[in-house]
Amino acid sequence: MASDADRLASGTDDVIPAGGLEEKLALGRPLRVKLGVDPSRPDLTLGHAVVLGKLRQFQDEGHHAVLIIGDFTARIGDPSGASETRPMLSEAEVSENARTYLEQAGAVIDVGSAEIRGNAEWLGKLDMEGLIRLASGATVAQMLEREDFRERFRGGRPISVVELLYPLMQGYDSVAVRADIELGGTDQTFNLLMGRDVQRAHGQEPQVIVTVPLLEGLDGERKMSKSLANYVGLTESADEMFGKLMSIPDPLIARYELLCLHIDPAEHERIVSGLGDGSIHPNDEKRKMARGVVDRYHGAGAGQDAEATFDRVHRDRSLPTEVPEFPIAELPSKEGSDQVSVAHALAASGLAPSTSEARRSIAGGGVRLDGEVVRDVELMLETGALRGHVLQVGRRRFVRFV
């Protein structure tokens, strides 16, 4: 049977220092487990949920979650992975993003029992002397050890002094909440290590760092991101979530189960072995994974219902039981006629972000009208005759005109 430390380390990328997690657990008290998030964007994906899920795992083991909303640092923007200086967000933007972030994070962690803090509480009170003392604990050479800073410096791209202060401010968060453990993605390792240095400088025992991998998106290659359109959103419908998860490459099945469902290490090894030797069928395991993820965010049984819808639409070539409706009165008819192009109908109904993107979808054979592939990019239809007909993009997006 796995030890507490083994369970908590399962699915992580690294624990620094080695053996540090065991030492903290040996203290015999609930640990203060910190996760700092900058609400620079309002929408969360399964990628964000990986580290949130690890925080929930600590909660379930009886430890104290400290979620720090970077209402001060978000105005700067974490420079991790950035190729150029980031624009500062306004206080209003940060406040709105923080509100939606907490609403969505509640689908993963127990927000009610967590300690929620905004780092403006202490960073906003730092005077010039305090800032100088904080900055005195680091050197420019040390900051340039960060790959993103080093590459920008070598390339002659600007690095603001404010950005250099960011890791120190994140480290000061750990001092303010007396963190025993800090969680973060692998792209946060430098900042997390800086937190240990800042804690030492303030006479505190340094935190243990637990990093989690960055989840690959649906393309199986790049980090999950809304900007890359390879994401699964936490607020997406059960049907949309299930359909997207069924599209991941087979080599990612076990990884998604480990990172998104936090399965036991022994179970993970069993699945990896079974997929490798053929004793577990990839499609069966992918369906099991997709059902589990959907149940996690939509409630028990939602995954099975979404699977039934998926099969009805894809295997049986039927429409889903609930198809969103769009009034034909809101379609943009061609000037001087009562006709509308399929491309404009796609854009107006929200099935495509723009008419140019709609034309690309048509050209790629990804658009159907009542189940028949639309071949003509410039196809015009009588607006009134569209009533009751269904337009489809890809395998999961439908609109019925009413």
Domains in the chain, CATH or no CATH each: 4-212 (3.40.50.620), 238-315 (no CATH), 325-401 (3.10.290.10)
Q: 148-204, pLDDT tens digit by residue?
A: 788 888 888 888 888 888 889 999 999 999 999 999 999 889 889 999 999 999 999
> Is there a cis peptide before residue 17, judged by omega within 30 degrees of 0?
yes
As a whole-number percent, the residues of the chain with pLDDT over 90 amount to: 41
Whole-number Å distance between alpha carbons of 201 and 203: 6
Identity of the residue numbered 182? E
Element (H, E) at 142: helix 140-143
Asked if pLDDT for residue 31 goes beyond 50, the answer is yes
Q: 113-159, pLDDT tens digit by residue?
A: 999 999 999 998 989 998 898 888 788 888 887 777 888 888 888 88
Asked if pLDDT for residue 274 goes beyond 70, the answer is yes
Contacting residues for 368 by C-beta, under 8 A, at least 6 apart: 374, 391, 392
For residue 55, how many C-alpha atoms fall within 13 Å in the half-sphere facing its CB? Answer: 31
pTM of the model: 0.71
Strand partners, 16: 209
Q: 354-369, pLDDT tens digit by residue?
A: 888 888 888 888 888 8
- Report the range of poorest mean pLDDT among 20-29, 175-184, 225-234: 225-234
- Residue 304's Cβ-count burial label (10 Å; 0-12, 13-18, 19+) is middle
Token representation of residue 71? 């209402």
The answer to whether the CB of 398 falls within 8 A of the CB of 237 is no
The answer to whether the CB of 325 falls within 8 A of the CB of 402 is yes
The answer to whether the CB of 313 falls within 8 A of the CB of 396 is yes
Whole-number Å distance between alpha carbons of 60 and 260: 16
Whole-number Å distance between alpha carbons of 388 and 326: 10
Q: What is the pLDDT of residue 303?
A: 95
Strand partners, 372: 369
Q: What is the pLDDT of residue 134?
A: 87
Q: Tell me the range of 89-103, 229-243, 244-258, 317-331 where mean pLDDT is highest.
A: 244-258
Measured between alpha carbons, how far apart are the two ends of the chain, in Å?
58
Element (H, E) at 20: helix 20-25
Q: What is the pLDDT of residue 183?
A: 97
**Strands of 372-373's sheet, edge to edge?**
325-326, 397-401, 390-393, 367-369, 372-373
Average the pLDDT over 234-243 and give the result.
88
Q: What is the pLDDT of residue 83?
A: 46
**Residue 213 DSSP code:** P
